[in-house]
């Protein structure tokens, strides 16, 4: 959405210079973000999420690229979500897990699981060396209402889903798990579990961040149906033929 006049007058924004795209290396990216000096609240964040923005640490941002519209904000309407056969199989195979909700505070056990995941999945990418401070920055903003969904197999912690609580839904911020249990499709189970949390809280949506049909890191999100995308003005159903049309 390029028309910033649609936002409340007090919000202030900045735009980064062009930089290498994290998802499509052959492209240049730009990011629009709320001025870090602006005193954000959860009300602001919930409003911005409805307009395609996302949180990373204390920053709320969205892609603002010059010639590319491939990073598309998406969300799942929880009440109408229909799991496919594969997703039902994942739920069944993980019924032995216990889910506990924690506040988004630093915990040494959680941090060690995060480091183990990063070193296995993102070795050499920088995040595998995140300090305790970097990890705490991932968990929450100074102004955000954030929770951790912790998944246990008996007494063993095997996954954490960092989740923000918005006015109309939950936002899936980041999920990490023990790589030794990768065959359980824990990333999928994390999303399915967050959808159940949306229903339990009597909210409407699970915000998944950005879907990009040309990026393997992001294209999987279209497997969750029905899925809605933000077209720059309003949310509408995303079908399998959706592409860079705005």
Dihedral of CA 173/187/190/240: which sign?
positive
pLDDT tier for residue 240 given thresholds of 50, 70 and 90: low
Q: What is d(CA 96, CA 166) in angstroms, rounded to the nearest whole number?
A: 29
CB 66 within 8 A of CB 30: yes
CB 222 within 8 A of CB 84: no
**What tokens appear for 38 in the block?**
């602006």
Three-state secondary-structure class, residue 59: strand
- In tens, the pLDDT along 189-202 reads 999 999 999 999 99
DSSP letter at 18 equals P
To the nearest 10 degrees (0 to 180), the angle between helices 108-121 and 132-139 is: 100
Mean pLDDT of the region 17-37: 89
pLDDT tier for residue 48 given thresholds of 50, 70 and 90: very high
Q: Which CATH class is domain 78-200?
A: alpha beta
DSSP letter at 7 equals S
Question: Does the N-terminal peptide bond of residue 226 adopt cis geometry, omega within 30 degrees of 0?
Answer: yes
Q: What is d(CA 164, CA 132) in angstroms, rounded to the nearest whole number?
A: 20
- In tens, the pLDDT along 213-223 reads 888 888 899 99
Dihedral of CA 11/12/18/23: which sign?
negative
DSSP string, 129-178: G--HHHHHHHH--TT--EEEEEEEETTEEEEEEEEEE-SSEEEEEEEEE-
- In tens, the pLDDT along 153-174 reads 999 999 999 999 999 999 999 9
Nearest to 222 by CA among 123, 76, 35: 76
Tell me the whole-structure pTM to 2 decimals. Answer: 0.90
Q: What is the pLDDT of residue 243?
A: 47
- In tens, the pLDDT along 80-136 reads 999 999 999 999 999 999 999 999 999 999 999 999 999 898 665 555 457 888 899
Residue 244 has pLDDT above 50, yes or no: no
Looking at beta carbons, which pairs linking 222-226 to residues 24 or more positions away fall under 8 Å? 222/74, 223/84, 223/86, 223/87, 224/76, 224/81, 224/87, 224/191, 225/81, 225/82, 225/84, 226/76, 226/77, 226/80, 226/81, 226/82
pLDDT tier for residue 19 given thresholds of 50, 70 and 90: confident
135 phi and psi angles, rounded to 5 deg: -65, -45
**What tokens appear for 217 in the block?**
């890191």
Residue-range domain boundaries for the chain: 78-200
Mean pLDDT across the chain: 90
CB 149 within 8 A of CB 200: no
């Amino acid at each position: 959405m390029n028309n910033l006049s649609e936002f409340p007058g007090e919000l202030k924004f900045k735009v980064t210079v062009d930089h290498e795209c994290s998802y499509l290396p052959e492209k240049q990216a730009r990011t629009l973000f709320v001025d870090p000096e602006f005193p954000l609240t959860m009300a602001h964040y919930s409003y911005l999420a409805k307009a395609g923005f996302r949180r990373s640490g204390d920053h709320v941002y969205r892609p603002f690229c010059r010639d590319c519209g491939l990073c598309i904000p998406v969300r799942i309407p929880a009440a109408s979500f229909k799991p496919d056969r594969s997703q039902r199989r994942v739920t069944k195979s993980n019924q032995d897990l216990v889910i506990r909700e924690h506040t988004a505070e630093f915990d040494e056990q959680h941090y060690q699981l995060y480091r183990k995941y990063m070193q296995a999945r993102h070795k050499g990418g920088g995040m595998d060396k995140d300090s305790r401070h970097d990890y705490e920055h991932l968990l929450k903003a100074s102004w955000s209402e954030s929770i951790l969904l912790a998944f246990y197999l008996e007494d063993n912690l095997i996954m954490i889903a960092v989740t923000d609580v918005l006015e109309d839904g939950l936002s899936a911020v980041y999920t990490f798990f023990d790589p030794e249990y990768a065959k359980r499709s824990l990333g999928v189970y994390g999303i399915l579990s967050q959808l159940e949390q949306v229903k339990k809280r009597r909210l409407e949506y699970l915000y998944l961040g950005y879907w990009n049909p040309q990026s393997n890191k992001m294209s999987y999100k279209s497997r969750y149906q029905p899925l809605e995308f933000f077209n720059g003005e309003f949310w509408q159903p995303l079908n399998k033929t959706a592409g860079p049309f705005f």
